[in-house]
Amino acid sequence: MKKLTKREKLLIYLLACFLIGFFGIYFVVLPSVQGFQVVNDQAAEAQFTKESMEMAIEAIPTTMQEKAQAQANLTSSKAVYPQQLANEGLDMLLTQLCLDYSLAPKVLSVASNGVGEVLTFIPYTSEDAASAVVGSTGTTSTTTATSSSEDSTTSTTTADSSETTATETTESSETTEATEATETTDTGDGTETGVAVQTLIGVVNMEVTGTQANFYRLLDAVAARPDMIITAFEIRPETTTTGSTSSTSTTSAAAAGIAKLDSGKVAINVTFEVYMMAK
What's the gap between Cα 36 and its chain centre? Answer: 55
Between CA 68 and CA 76 the distance in angstroms is 12
What is the spatial distance between Cα 205 and Cα 105, in angstroms, rounded to a whole number?
11
**At residue 188, does pLDDT exceed 60?**
no
pTM: 0.47
Predicted pLDDT at 74: 85
Contact indicator for 126, 140 with CB cutoff of 8 Å = no
How far is it, in rounded angstroms, from Cα 203 to Cα 180? 36
Give 181's pLDDT tier (boundaries 50, 70, 90): very low
Is residue 198 within 8 Å of residue 115, measured between CB atoms?
yes
Q: What is the DSSP string of 253-274?
A: PTTT--EETTSS-EEEEEEEEE
First to last CA, the chain: 104
Interstrand relation of 194-210 and 104-121 (parallel, antiparallel or unpaired) = antiparallel
pLDDT tens for 127-161 read 654 444 444 444 444 444 344 444 443 334 434 44
Tell me what the mean pLDDT of segment 189-201 comes to: 62
CA atoms of 122 and 195, how far apart (whole Å): 9
- DSSP class of residue 56 equals H
The answer to whether 208 and 106 are in contact (CB under 8 A) is yes
pLDDT of 122 reads 65
pLDDT digits (tens, 9 = 90+) for 5-52: 888 888 888 998 998 988 888 888 899 999 999 999 999 999 999 999
